[in-house]
Structure 1
Amino acid sequence: MTADTENRTTTESGGGRSGSAGGVLVAATVAVGLIAGLFYAFACGIMPALARSDDRVYVEVMRNINEVIQNPVFLLTFLGALVLTAVAAWQSRGSPRSRVWVFAALVAYGLAFLLTVTVNIPLNNDLADVGNPATTADAAAVREEFEDPWVAWNVVRTVLCTLALGLLARALTLYGRDGRDGRHGRSGPSGPPGSSR
């Protein structure tokens, strides 16, 4: 087989995946970025603002937020970020320069996802089980059990999602370089076109 034929075959076999793989990687980066931004907004704005409220207002607003956020747009983005990153990691197996970054992003976002499911959501459910804040006997105790752990773990998942976003951005950069270099840049070492192996 000639080097030219081998290069063409390599490009064709990788090129079939390159378009869809690049699109999935972009979609994963956008989805993770949206979730990172949401958690960041809670960490930097929403929770500090609520901290100034009295206990009953705090409980009522957090209960409302937890109810409203359970909508198709958020759920699709939250789950989609995990699925898209996992698919991007699987598709990046043949890209030696970007695959490590995508797999690292999958681990980081996976941990944030796990924290949300095992810590933040159960805390939300406990808050919902309290009932009407206006008739709650001790709103201060309810808030005390909820606020500090929720805020602390939200900071952790914000850092993890931001890390995942940065890793995916790096993977996108390297993925683009792979494309510009002709996937793996084999034409140089293989000799001039037409030479046999």
Structure 2
Amino acid sequence: MNTFWATSPLSLATLIGAALTTGLTAGLLYAFAHAVMPGLGTLGDAEHLRSFQRIDAAIANPWMGLAFGGSPVLTLAALLLHLREGGAVLLWLGAALALILATIAITAAVNLPLNAQIQSAAPSFTDATALRERFERRWVTWNIVRTVTSVGSVLCLSAALLASPTA
């Protein structure tokens, strides 16, 4: 084994960065699942939609983009930097990448289109009850799924850190 690859500060920093950005993503999705959406669920229909719309508008910012977009990029980079090591670290990184890509796919296929429906209905929210019925249950269900996939990715990245000779 080439010792540069086994002890590279770059490979370790990339793996730590992947774990950090994925952890931030998982934490955000967890907070939505267990605090934000249950809290919004106590509001009336128009108030619920208006509040969600404002949260959605606020979350579209560079810091969130850095964490959400950085997670798969850094996970892939960590995988590539650890290719020569092989073994368990590579398996954990592959699983982490698959799980965070699943998180992003769910976000792109389900959550973002639902968010766009809320954005396009604002500010009037005509027939707020019907819109909420089409939106809330599906959004919450798929957010829980992507919470599980992102937390799973964090667990895999943690295992990769423990399995890495750079640790």
The normalised TM-score by structure 1 is 0.81
In 1: Cα distance, 2:166 partner to 2:40 partner: 48
Please state whether the residue corresponding to 2:24 is helix, strand or coil. helix
Please state whether the residue corresponding to 2:29 is helix, strand or coil. helix
Q: Tell me what 1:106 maps to.
A: 97
Partner residue of 1:69 out of 27, 41, 59: 59
Partner residue of 2:118 out of 127, 135, 139: 127
State the Cα distance separating 1:138 from its structure 2 match.
1.1
State the Cα distance separating 1:92 from its structure 2 match.
1.4
For residues 87-146 of structure 1, give each alpha carbon's deviation from its aligned partner in whole angstroms, at most 9, with x where no partner exists.
Answer: 0111111222311000100000000011101110000001111121xx333111111111
For residues 19-47 of structure 1, give each alpha carbon's deviation from its aligned partner in whole angstroms, at most 9, with x where no partner exists.
Answer: 10000000000000000000000001111
Q: How does 1:21-170 map to 2 (within 5 A)?
A: 21-95=11-85, 96-132=87-123, 135-170=124-159
State the Cα distance separating 1:74 from its structure 2 match.
0.3
The structure with more helix, counted as a fraction of residues: 2
The unaligned stretches of length 5 or more in structure 1 are 1-6, 181-197
In 2: Cα distance, 1:21 partner to 1:85 partner: 11
The unaligned stretches of length 5 or more in structure 2 are none
In 2: Cα distance, 1:54 partner to 1:28 partner: 39
The runs of at least 4 aligned residues of structure 1 exceeding 4 Å deviation read none
In 1: Cα distance, 2:105 partner to 2:5 partner: 33
In 2: Cα distance, 1:97 partner to 1:24 partner: 17
Letter in 2 for 1:21: S
State the Cα distance separating 1:68 from its structure 2 match.
0.5
State the Cα distance separating 1:179 from its structure 2 match.
4.2
Letter in 2 for 1:35: T
For residues 146-170 of structure 1, give each alpha carbon's deviation from its aligned partner in whole angstroms, at most 9, with x where no partner exists.
Answer: 1010000000000000000000000
Change (3 A) 1:92 1:53: same
Letter in 2 for 1:168: L
The normalised TM-score by structure 2 is 0.95
State the number of aligned residues.
166
RMSD between superposed Cα atoms in Å: 1.4
2:79, 2:93 within 8 Å by CA — same for their partners in 1? yes
- Max radius of gyration: which structure? 1
